[in-house]
Amino acid sequence: MNKLDRKTGFIKNNPLFILFLGLTTGLAITTNLTNALGMTVIVFVVSVIGSLFVGLFKKFVPHEAILIVSLVINALLVKLVSLFVGAYAPTLGQGLGFGLMIITANTLILFNIGAFDKKDNKEIKIKLSVMNSLYYGFALIIVSVIRELLGSGTLSLLNPFSGEFIFNVSIIPADYIMGLFLKPEGGFLVVGILAAIFVSLNSKKDLEKEVR
Residue 4 pLDDT level (bands cut at 50, 70, 90):
very low
d(CA 161, CA 91): 7
pLDDT over 90 at 43, yes or no:
yes
pLDDT over 90 at 157, yes or no:
yes
- Strands 154-158 and 165-170, sheet pairing: antiparallel
pLDDT digits (tens, 9 = 90+) for 116-125: 565 666 677 7
DSSP strands (E only) in the chain: 154-158, 165-170
d(CA 128, CA 123): 9
d(CA 140, CA 29): 9
Contact yes or no for 126/52 (Cβ under 8 A): yes
Q: Of the candidates 106, 33, 21, 20, which has an alpha carbon nearest to the alpha carbon of residue 70?
A: 106
Mean pLDDT of the chain: 86
Average pLDDT of span 86-109:
88
Average pLDDT of span 77-82:
93
DSSP-assigned beta bridge partners for residue 165: 158
**Burial class of residue 42 (count of CB atoms within 10 Å of its CB; 0-12, 13-18, 19+):** buried
pLDDT over 70 at 211, yes or no:
no
